[in-house]
Amino acid sequence: MEGKVVGICISEKRGTQKTEIAEADIVKGWGIEGDAHGGKWHRQVSLLSFEKIEDFRAKGADVKFGAFGENLIMEGFDLRRLPVGTRFRIGDVILELTQIGKECHSHCEIYKKMGDCIMPREGVFTEVIAGGHIRVGDLVQIIEPEKNRPFTAAVITLSDKGAAGQREDKSGPKIVEMAAQAGYDVKESLLLPDGRGALERQLIRLADQRQINVIFTTGGTGFSQRDVTPEATIAVCDRMANGIADAIRNYSMTITPRAMFSRAVSGIRGKTLIINLPGSPKAVQEALEFLLPQLEHGLGILRGSEGECAR
């Protein structure tokens, strides 16, 4: 599948409209030279479909390239329908898709005028895997994600004291360490206060926009009033997968009878598996030692890279 670069845009400050340039240097691990969105993060270069801009113009919007804050305008692709992990080759440059859409924190001038903005739902974001020089008119080649690529993971710790800086989070880093040792590509690690709102938003973002394969939460699964991690997980899931939570609980019961007080659940949103783990580092380690040797089979089925387990 091939397309074409029809526009290149940059801006010196974030939150401002970008202006067109005819060519640009793309810096590995950073972004477009001279653009404010470059940096050591997963949204280094933003892309928007030329066809989506044309559809928006057909509604009466007078918008130039860069008006939505996009870096590259590409013709020939429905970018939003491409899976995270897709790569774009432009000459020597390779960009890897890392996020679909974004949350709109404050409505831009386009939204205020038209009542709509396409960037939050149609824009996509990439990291620069290989740098080089690009020009308007360059051909773009799509490289599909490898079938057996490493599974991606994210970790969310729920702790009021941890988020307030009153207690060191040891459970989240333990999950990151063990998942990485098991071969997972850990994309994000977050520390949030207990409660549903922020957790639900992050679970939705990680599942829908970043298309993470598995999200581990730690904390908030007990009997305290603020322990609502299971409720947040249930609220965002399409289907439950509580065989995992039950198996962890049963295994933990062989170590301590207090495992009966865990209210942890597991579920699926889209193609993302969400697993509630205990809050203590010791319990996290025990749970992952039991879980990780079996988990990749289920994730492979969910991703479509492995067959069902019936014999």
Buried-state track 7-22, b at ≥16 Cβ within 10 A, e below 16: bbbbbeeeeebbeebe
CB neighbours of 309 closer than 8 A, spacing ≥ 6?
297, 301
Tokens of 260: 């009966």
- Model pLDDT, residue 14: 84
* Strand ranges across the sheet with 31-32: 31-32, 23-27, 132-135
Give me the helix-helix angle, 197-204 and 229-236, nearest 10°.
Answer: 40
How many angstroms separate the Cα of 49 from the Cα of each of 46, 52, 162, 220?
Answer: 10, 5, 41, 41
CB 303 within 8 A of CB 271: yes
By the 10 Å C-beta count (0-12 exposed, 13-18 middle, 19+ buried), 36 is classed as middle
Tell me the per-residue pLDDT of 85-124, one tens digit each, with 9 for 90 and over.
999 999 999 999 999 998 765 656 665 555 667 888 899 9
Report pLDDT for 125: 97
Give the separation between CA 205 and CA 72, rounded to whole angstroms: 23
pLDDT at 111: 56
Which residue numbers in the chain have pLDDT < 50? 311
Burial class (CB in 10 A: 0-12, 13-18, 19+), 305: middle
Helix, strand, coil percentages (3-state) for the chain, rounded to 5, are 30, 30, 40
User: What is the pLDDT at residue 108?
Assistant: 60
pLDDT for position 61 = 78
DSSP state of 168: -
